């Protein structure tokens, strides 16, 4: 079982968890806070930390600026620092294909892979928010299809830049004066729709060959991108049945592309709420939900449906939602909104439900309850592991690592020591062949 400990808000996945008495304050800007999280996860032999990211603050609606935890550290810098104070744990780091240059991303991930001795993965995102677009020269976000086409070409360029130094290219032969073997250093001379990149990279091939590729969007284009390029897919489904359909769909795509399903790890997200009893778990969650502010929940719902709901009566019914196929926003969220509309009579109810529930199913109860449900999903084959989205940090993270992980270890479902080698080695994913000349 693969375990990935996730955060976007360093205060936890519940959107207003920053208000909780046990949530961190200004220490979210100190390395020590993250170092402690990493150390706890590493003691538990958790596979990886997963850091999400956005390229702007969430402020389409006024409440975002005042009430949302909009300030955070840039994740690549943070992982640079964390790689120096950890030994074994992996790092999945988010970077956008829409607002970066492939040469810069290829260099940074190759360097982090060297510095961490083979422990980094790139979570590829296309950046769906208009708030992000407007920080990068645009007045609206790039349409969904173009974003994904650009991502596809971006990934092709980055992986070939990683291949531009073959494994044996670096000689450092002081006698002969040959630092490198020119026959093993390759030019891309790439000229595509979005990019023109000559290469080669100025970083020698890194310990994992390629840092792992992670993809985390469940739209049609997201699943295509994932099965084309990714090693790990962060999926969103709400129950085992949905999971089975999801897995079948993914496996069919993989087979069509000539990939064995064993080369691809499917990690659904779950929101673990662990307590000494089911009742206490429910109380913990209720205490978090009380922190929600009505204005924020309404604004969140407006943002995800790309509709200004403040124009509608808050205790009236929800207006019709946009058509997914024509939707340029974040389709995963739109679908979650759609799936919850039947459970809420008014806009206020739907907003609260959505704002508190988050994107992934809650797995709540005692240590045994949580381990049982994880075991069920794992043994039934819908999950190769889990992306753990803790409602409140650091407490839920520390608690999970020290209670649920030992239970999973007792059941023989999870490692008790880190295996040797890189992050890729531990996941038994093959070191990629050099594809520089595939074009």
Per CB under 8 A, which of residues 6..65 are in contact with its own copies?
Answer: 16, 18-21, 23, 25-26, 29-31, 35, 54-57, 59, 62, 65
Minimum CB separation of residue 265 from its own copies in Å reads 25
> Is 357 marked as a binding-site residue?
no
> Is 116 marked as a binding-site residue?
no
Instruction: Identify which of residues 115 and 306 has a Cβ nearer to its own copies in the complex.
Output: 115
Other CB atoms within a 10 A radius of the CB of residue 277 amount to: 11
* Residue 287 engages its own copies in binding (rule: CB under 8 A): no
Minimum CB separation of residue 142 from its own copies in Å reads 14
Q: What Å distances lie between residue 346 and 45, 181, 302, 318, CA to CA? A: 45, 68, 14, 6
Q: What Å distances lie between residue 126 and 4, 155, 197, CA to CA? A: 21, 11, 20
- The rounded distance, in Å, linking the Cα atoms of 359 and 14 is 10
- The rounded distance, in Å, linking the Cα atoms of 288 and 439 is 52
> Is 218 marked as a binding-site residue?
yes
Instruction: Write the binding mask 242 to 271 for its own copies: x where contact by CB under 8 A, - elsewhere.
Output: ------------------------------
Instruction: Identify which of residues 70 and 349 has a Cβ nearer to its own copies in the complex.
Output: 70
Minimum CB separation of residue 102 from its own copies in Å reads 9
Taking contact as CB under 8 A, which single stretch among the options 108-116, 216-224, 311-319, 348-356 is the one that binds its own copies?
108-116
What are the backbone angles phi and psi of residue 320, rounded to the nearest 5°?
-65, 140
> Is 191 marked as a binding-site residue?
no
Are residues 271 and 13 in contact, defined by beta-carbon separation less than 8 angstroms?
Answer: yes
Q: Which residues inside 206-225 make contact with its own copies, applying CB under 8 A?
A: none
> Is 20 marked as a binding-site residue?
no
Q: Which residues inside 68-107 make contact with its own copies, applying CB under 8 A?
A: 68-74, 76-85, 99-101, 103-104, 107
> Is 231 marked as a binding-site residue?
no
What are the backbone angles phi and psi of residue 361, rounded to the nearest 5°?
-70, 140
Minimum CB separation of residue 108 from its own copies in Å reads 5
- Token digits for 178? 């040959």
CA neighbours closer than 13 Å in the CB half-sphere of residue 46:
29
- The rounded distance, in Å, linking the Cα atoms of 388 and 414 is 15
Residue 323 has what DSSP assignment? P
Binding site per annotation, positions for FMN: 53, 94, 144, 148, 218-219
């Amino acid at each position: 079982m693969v375990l990935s400990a996730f955060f976007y808000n360093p205060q936890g996945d519940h959107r207003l968890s920053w208000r909780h008495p046990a949530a961190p304050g200004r220490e979210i800007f100190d390395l020590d806070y993250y170092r402690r999280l990493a150390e706890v996860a590493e003691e538990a032999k958790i596979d990886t930390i997963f850091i999400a990211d956005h390229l702007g603050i969430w402020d389409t609606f006024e409440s975002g600026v005042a009430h949302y935890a909009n300030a955070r550290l840039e994740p690549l810098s943070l992982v640079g620092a964390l790689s120096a104070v950890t030994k074994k744990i992996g790092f999945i780091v988010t970077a956008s294909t829409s607002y970066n240059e492939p040469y810069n991303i290829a260099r940074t991930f190759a360097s982090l892979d060297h510095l961490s001795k083979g422990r980094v993965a790139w979570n590829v995102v296309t950046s769906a928010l208009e708030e992000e677009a407007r920080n990068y020269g645009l007045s609206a976000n790039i349409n969904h299809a173009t974003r994904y086409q650009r991502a596809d070409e971006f990934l092709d360029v980055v992986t070939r830049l990683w291949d531009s130094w073959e494994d044996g290219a670096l000689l450092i032969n002081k006698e002969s004066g040959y630092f490198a073997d020119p026959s093993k250093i390759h030019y891309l001379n790439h000229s595509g729709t979005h990019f023109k990149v000559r290469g080669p990279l100025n970083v020698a091939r890194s310990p994992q060959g390629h840092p792992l590729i992670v993809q985390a969007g469940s739209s049609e284009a997201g699943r295509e991108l994932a099965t084309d390029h990714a090693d790990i897919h962060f999926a969103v489904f709400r129950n085992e049945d949905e999971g089975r359909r999801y897995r079948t769909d993914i496996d069919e795509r993989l087979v069509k592309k000539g990939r064995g399903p064993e080369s691809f790890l499917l990690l659904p997200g779950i929101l673990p709420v662990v307590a000494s009893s089911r009742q206490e778990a429910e109380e913990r969650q209720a205490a978090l939900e009380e922190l929600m502010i009505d204005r924020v929940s309404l604004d969140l719902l407006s943002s995800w449906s790309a509709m200004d709901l403040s124009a509608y009566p808050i205790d009236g019914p929800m207006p019709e939602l946009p058509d997914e196929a024509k939707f340029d926003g974040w389709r995963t969220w739109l679908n979650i909104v759609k799936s919850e509309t039947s459970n809420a009579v008014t806009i206020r109810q739907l907003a609260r439900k959505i704002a508190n529930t988050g994107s992934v199913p809650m797995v709540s109860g005692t240590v045994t309850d949580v381990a049982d449900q994880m075991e069920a999903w794992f043994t039934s084959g819908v999950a190769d592991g889990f992306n753990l989205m803790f409602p409140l940090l650091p407490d839920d993270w520390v608690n999970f690592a020290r209670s649920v992980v030992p239970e999973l270890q007792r059941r023989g479902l999870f490692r008790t020591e880190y295996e040797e080698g890189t992050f890729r080695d531990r996941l038994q994913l093959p070191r990629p062949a050099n594809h520089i000349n595939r074009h």
